[in-house]
Amino acid sequence: MKRHPTILCRCEDIDDAAALAAWDRGARTARDLKLRTRIGMGACQGRTCSAAIPGVLRRPDVERLSTRPPVRPVRIDHILDHGDEAT
């Protein structure tokens, strides 16, 4: 039976096969995977896919991707609107 890939990172459209292939080529940390595949570099910054990575790889010891601010994408003109609050 043909196996259909499962989308792992929706933002960057990376499936489990791509993550497994990157692991086979020598990735050993979540950050390696990110650099090789762009997994976790899209709008959600890995907040959706990060938890699924150890399961897909069957490597429970792989740490979560580090997350960076902002928590959600923020439009630049909204950042400008908040200038008074920040300073």
Q: What residues line the site for another protein (CB under 8 A)?
A: 28-29, 31, 35, 38, 41-43, 45, 68-70, 73-77, 79-80, 82-83, 86-87
Query: Using H for helix, E for strand and C for coil, what is the string for 13-63?
Result: CEEHHHHHHHHHCCCCCHHHHHHHHCCCCCCCCCCCCHHHHHHHHCCCCCC
Judged by CB, which is closer to another protein: 2, or 72? 72
Closest separation in Å from C-beta 55 to another protein: 22
Distance set, CA 70 to CA 9, 43, 47 (Å): 19, 10, 12
Q: Which residues pair with 45 in a beta bridge?
A: none
Q: Which residue in this structure is represented by tokens 């976790």?
A: 40
Closest separation in Å from C-beta 87 to another protein: 5
